[in-house]
Each structure stands twice: as C-alpha cells, then as structure tokens.
Chain A
C-alpha cells in the first residue's frame, strides 16, 4: 500500500472531522441566509476556549463545553451584527476573524506564559464493528468527537429534509418574505442558524486544540475555517456535496502530511493523481452530454484534451519515477490550492447559493 495505508485513512478522518462539523454548522447558517465568513475566528475562539477551560478544570468534557461556549459567544456577536444591526456580513465576518486571531493570541501570551499540554481524546473501539479489517480501525476505533460529528451530520440531514423547521430554515435563505408572510419568524430562524453554526465551530475548534493534539498555539486552526466555507460552496449547499468536498480536502491534507515525511514523491501519488483526473473527466462527460451550446461543447473538449495530456504526463512520471520532491511549504499549500480550484469551478454548478444569502431582511420591503 505504500503511503495509502490504514494509518493514512485514520489521519484523513481525524483531519476531516472538525472541518466537517464546522462546515455543517456553516451550511445550516447559510441556508438561513447568514454567511459567516468569520468561521476561522470562531474556530480559534473555540480552540482557545477549550484549552482555557481544560487548563482550569482538567476535565476534557468540560473543556469541550468551554470551546462550545466560546463559539456560541462569537455566534451571538455575529448574530447581533448580521441580524440585529444588519451590518454587511462579509465585513462583520472579516471583523470576527481578525478578532478571533487577535484575542486568542493576546490571551494565550498573557494568561498562559507557560504553554501546557494535555492528553488528547482517547480512542474508543466500538465492539464487533472495530474488528472489521481496514474499515474497523479507520472508522470504528475513533474518539468520541468523531462519532458525535457523524451523529450531528445525520441529524442535520434529517432535520433539513424531514421537519417543518428544516423547510422553514431553507425557505428563510431563499425568500425571507415568504417565511414572514407565513407567520414564521425570520429573525428566530436566522438566530438559530447562526447560534448552531457557533456551537459547531466552537466544538470543532476545541477538537483542533485539546481533542486532537492537546496543546494550543497561535493561529493553530491554519485556515480550516476557510476550507469549511469553501466546502459549503463546493458542495452546492447540499450536505452530500459538502461531505464529498471535505473528504477531498482531508485526503489531500493527509497526503501532503505523509509526503512531507517521505523524501521523493512515491509512484502511487502519480497514479492516484492520474486516476482522480480520469474520474473528474468521466463525470464531466456525463454532465456535459446534455449541453447543446456550441461554446460549451468547444470548451468541454478543450478541457478534456488538457486533462488527457495531464494524465499522460502523470503516467510517464509514474513509470520513470524521477527523484523529485517539493518544498514543505508547497505541500502545505495543496488543500488550499484545491479549495481555490473548487471556488473557481463554482460558477458552473447546478445548485445555486440561497437567494437571500448575506442579504439582511427588512420587513418594509414586503
């Protein structure tokens, strides 16, 4: 298996879980029409809140509660700015990010002159299921946070499709006027969305600090908040798409972690990249079969040619196996580059952003 072994899967899932939870919260908030660009800041506050409370109490469960409270506080702040005072959501989001960075860095330096480290969350093996080869150790010998994340995602999926609350929430992001006319509180739903997003991001932040590694460092979330926002976009505001997007980011991130350690780029990386491009080309073909426009078709065939050329180059590289390596910083950039590509591809998606996303609701416009 080379670098793609069970340990690789485990690390990918550990990387994916906090992004997935934060992105799920962001999805709920965006479906209600509030775009929280400050997710990165909320994650950081969650991470620091968890660390702070953990240092005070020594109990990891209470530590997570601290992270959630931190996230909730920032959620309240976002809610007040975006829903009550109707500030531009991009601006308030950037403010939240900067505040999160500054506040946690300042408090970390001032309150804790000595950094402390804790034991991360213990891994719990689920009986029977954990004995399944490959999947057992990867999926069913994980920590409580990962199981909780899975539960939250399933509950959100059910809530969005099977409950009145979910329908109201989706309607709020599309057409708040309609929701208001039906006698449902737009404010209430948006607050619910923002607070839920705060709780999710707070917990995810706490996992990044005390749950996974047991320490806090300045700006330790490293852009995961942005990745979560990108995942919501890439996933077309659907949970299934979001899951796929997070999986791609996590696998890329796990790969780059491995590759930093390995010197030369191993053969299977070239092969995997070639396979990925082939799969992408295949799905494109299926989708663009319906496209009748000449311009679209020409563009599609050009992209197809470029893809095939890339595959050919990758196959050659896999056979020759040149002794090349990339600087660590380039490897680190990989998931973010992918996020950029995801955002660029966004223009052609079937599912569009909620119509009223980031638009404050004023009743007088009924």
Chain B
C-alpha cells in the first residue's frame, strides 16, 4: 500500500481514532416513507464499526447514500473532515469508499484479473490488464490477499469470490470498506478467516463497516456499533460496554418476549423415513460426484427435526428428492406410512406433504397473481373450491380471507397481487396455504430468511403449533442458533452426509460446529 502515492491509509497514518466518515442528520424519503430519519454516524480510521438493525431499518438505504447510489434529501457527509457529495457510485469509489455486496458484483464468465480490470476507461483503447495485475500484486504484498488471476470467477468458491471482491476494492484504493452481511454464504471456517482479515485491515488504518444481524459476529470483531431502528439511530457506543440483550433491545424496540423454550414433545411413529439415500450432484452424470450419500433419517409425528449445515451441503438436493423434482440413485423413502417410490411433486402433496420453499419469490409464490389465488393455489383442484372443473371464485376468496385472518396476513384486500406485500406477509400467506391442508409432513427450508423479528416469531409459533397438532416438521436452516432453539432433534449435514443426530437439549454451537467440520474430505 505504501508504494502507492495517491492515497492509502498508511499515509493518513496511524491517526486511528480520527474521524474517517461522518454523517450528520442524513434524511432520505421515498414519497411519504422516511427511510432514513436524521441519521448521525461516525466512523473512525482503524476501527471496525458494526451497523445493526432489523430488515427495513434503513441500513441498506444509508449505505446506498454513502456509496453514492442515492443522494440524501437532507444532511451532510464528511470524509476526513471535509464535506463531500456523491452523485454517482463512481464518486464514492474515487473517494475511497467501497462496498462488498451481499451478492457479489463479479462477472462469472470473466477471469479474476479481468474482473479487476473493469473500471471507467479514460482512454477507451487502453489495456488495463497489466495495470490490474500490478495492483493486485501490490495488494497481495501489503495484505497477503492473493488471487488466481487467470481463473474464471465461475470456477472459484464463495470464499474465494469474496476475497476477490475485497481485492477489487483495495486495488481501486478503497480506504473505507463496507461489508454487507458478509457471512451469509460462508462456512464457519471461512468466517474466521474473514474476521481476521477485517481486523488486519483495520489495524492497517482502514475503516471497516460491518452490516450484520448476527450478534455473535458483531461481538467477535467490532469495536463500536450503531443501531438503526425504523430509519433512525436508536443507539451507539463501544462493543466492550454493550451486552447482546442491550443491542437486541435497541434493534427491536420494546423487548420481545423471549421465545419460550420448546416444550417437550411426545413424538409418535415415523412420518418420513429415509434409508440409505444416494443422490448425484448432476442428474445427467450418475457416475459423477454425489450430492447426498448414505442418508438415513426419520422424522416422527409431533417432532421438529432440524437439519444443520452450511449452505450447499446437500440441503436443497434433499428437498428436491423428497418432492420428486430430482431423481435418487438408490435408497428408499417412506412418507406417512407408505412407500414413496414413484415421486412427483403432485404425489408428494397428495401423500400429505407440504413445503415452504427456500426461494420465496420464485418457488413459493406467483408474485403477479392475487393473494387469494396464491393462498388457495393448492386446493383449487378439488371440491369444495372446484365444482366439476369450474372454479368457485367466491368460495375461494372467502377461504382466502378466513386463512388471512387466521395467519395474520395483513393486506387491504385478498385481490392484491401478492408481490406487493411485504416479505413477512408473503411468508405468512405461504404458511397459510401449506398448513391449511393439515399436512402430515411440512418441509420448511429457511422459513424465516429475510424476515424481521416479528414475522419470524410468527413463523416459529406456527411451526410449533403444527407440531402440537401432531404434524412432523423437517426444518432446514443455515443458522445454528435457529436450529438449536427450534428443533427437537438436530441432524448435521456436511458434504452430503449426515454427520450425526443430536438431541436439541444437548446441542451447543460448539458440538454442532465440530460435527459440521468433522469430515472435511470432499466426496
């Protein structure tokens, strides 16, 4: 870094504590909605500053203002004590503010080096590749972050892509780095590596902003925090003096009642039995690598079985096989006491299955269709909503209204397109549809992802209520705390194998984490 004359924290030096970025009274309105309300934020050089808040608290809007995607309606931004105004992302980048987006901004079909070379070209015919290579080597010597220049980004792992994203920003002289939910796609090991890197960057004099929901992460790396609630700052301070409870209160406002511990259940006979299931990673290559191997599982009546594991351990393949979307190589599945051999989604639902898909927008709802159509989608094929092939629209609307009431779906009318509802209300509508048929087995894949605390709590309570009624739930989640608090038993899935099944009462983050990494060898 010291080799570059134009900028760099090294020159601004060890003046850690000096203000790097200061927002005063930043307000942003969209119509009548106030996304940011007089937000003050102070980031110092050499610190890791955590920005906390629920979904919709205004974190994203604030960071879009900082990175020049939005211009604030009121308030000012000071960089190094000098007022600045960013009208374009390019301005913020030039000023040294870079963001590692949750969804990486990399082009998979280009090589890593070419991705670094994407930049405004002053002279159109300039070849930026040599320059990019030189800079990436400088970054490598300064921070130890190495890239594989001639590899296609498509061939890189998630952790490697994130590293490339950081190198990209450093190459362009970023001194203030914003990480948006960086751990979402990482395994625990990769997160530790990233945490170390953030500390190293801060020690070098960079300013690091960490946006996260996960308090454990915030407490492990951050120096200070700022909490946003409904667009306004609800508190800030140093992490050393904060407690998780305090931060949660700041985020949520009135202290939410703690989720009651799962009452002991009385599991009945098995609803879903899986025996030595093998699934290929690629349907067209049965001899190729396997996504799932030797899976043995049992989900019983009145039980929530949690599947823990990092993303990509085989969870989505498991769901797809159960639903009959993906063929299995071998193994037997029993659903609701009968062999479930010839699988198809329709047979799955008919046999008493239901599913809350992971991808809400693409798999769970039809955004352009109305709320009542989405809620009654599953029951339109049979009486009473279907009379000799004709749809009883009035009965369907009435049924939808009843379910909206029962599942607390807040919308002005059942005739609204479901795409216009908030994520929480969409998910409640999905719950209403899936649970209304009183299924024997509910597969819930990341059912609270992207939901705020209240909506998540509602989903939790619905799952537990289903369990009390004697239903079985297969809960798939990447969040260990969620799995531990929600399940009766936990199966740990890693590299396509069940590494162990633990009673939830005896499960801790540590012993589940150990199971996840116990067999690291690739298949």
Interface residues of A (CB under 8 A from B): 159, 162-165, 167-168, 170-171, 174-175, 177-185, 292-293, 295-296, 355, 363, 366
Assembly CA distance A293 to B288 (angstroms) = 10
Contacts of A175 in B (CB 8 A): 105-108
Please provide the 8 A-B residue pairs with the shortest distance between their CB atoms, ordered closest to farther.
A183-B90, A164-B128, A181-B105, A178-B105, A164-B121, A165-B124, A293-B284, A171-B107
**B115 contacts across to A, CB distance below 8 A:** 171, 178
Whether B106 and A167, one on each chain, are in contact in the complex, defined by CB atoms closer than 8 angstroms, is no
* Chain B residue nearest in CB terms to A295: B284
Report the bound CA distance from A292 to B287 in whole Å: 8
For the complex, what is the distance from the CA of A181 to the CA of B115, rounded to whole Å?
A: 12
Interfacial chain A residues near B126, Cβ < 8 Å: 163-165
Count of residues in B whose CB is under 8 Å from the partner chain? 36
For the complex, give the distance between the alpha carbons of A51 and B480 in Å: 72
How far does the alpha carbon of A184 sit from the alpha carbon of B107 in the complex, in Å? 14
Nearest-neighbor residue (CB-CB) of B125 within chain A: A163
Cα–Cα distance between A168 and B168 once the two chains are bound (Å): 14
Q: Is the CB of B124 within 8 A of A180?
A: no
Find out whether the CB atom of B110 lies under 8 angstroms from the CB atom of A181: no
Closest-CB distance, B396 to chain A (whole angstroms) = 32
Selected from A162, A170, A177, A184, the residue in CB contact (under 8 A) with B120 is A184
Majority secondary structure of chain A interface residues (helix, strand, loop or mixed)? helix
Q: B94 at the A/B interface (Cβ < 8 Å)?
A: yes
B114 in contact (CB, < 8 A): yes
Q: Provide the residues of chain A in CB contact with B129, threshold 8 Å.
A: 162, 167
Known contacts A167-B118, A171-B114; 6 further A-B pairs (Cβ under 8 A): A162-B129, A163-B121, A164-B121, A165-B121, A168-B118, A184-B90
Question: What are 9 A-to-B residue pairs whose CB atoms are below 8 Å?
Answer: A163-B124, A164-B119, A164-B126, A165-B124, A170-B110, A178-B118, A183-B94, A184-B120, A292-B285
Set B90, B99, B108, B117: member contacting A167, Cβ < 8 A: B117
Contact call A167/B110, Cβ cutoff below 8 A: yes
Asked if residues A163 and B127 are in contact (CB atoms below 8 Å), the reply is: yes
| Docked-complex contact A182 and B119, CB < 8 angstroms | yes
Q: Which of B105, B121, B125, B285 contacts A177 (CB 8 A)?
A: B105
Q: Most B CB atoms within 10 A — which of A163, A164, A175, A185? A: A164
**Which A residue sits closest to B103, measured CB to CB?**
A177
Closest chain A CB from B163 CB (angstroms)? 16
B69 lies within 8 A of chain A by Cβ: yes
Contact A170 B119 (CB under 8 A): no
Nearest residue, chain A, Cβ from B131 = A164
Kindly report which residue of chain A lies nearest to residue B91, judged by CB atoms: A183
In whole angstroms, what is the CA distance A363 to B90 when docked? 14
**Contact between A171 and B118, CB atoms less than 8 A apart:** yes
The residue in chain B whose Cβ has the minimal distance to the Cβ of A185 is B120
**Which of A168, A174, A182, A185: most chain B CB closer than 10 A?**
A182
- Chain A CB within 8 A of B214 CB: no
Q: Does B109 contact A (CB under 8 A)?
A: yes
Q: Confirm or deny: B89 has a beta carbon within 8 angstroms of a beta carbon on chain A.
A: yes
Bitwise interface map of B from 80 to 115 toward A, beta carbon under 8 Å scored 1, else 0: 000000001110011000010101111111100011
In the complex the two chains form, is B285's CB within 8 Å of A293's CB? yes
Interface string of B2-21 (1 = CB under 8 A from A): 00000000000000000000
With A174-B110, A182-B119, A363-B69 in contact, do A167 and B128 touch (Cβ < 8 Å)?
yes
* Cα(A131)–Cα(B119), bound, Å: 47
A296→B284 contact, CB < 8 A: yes
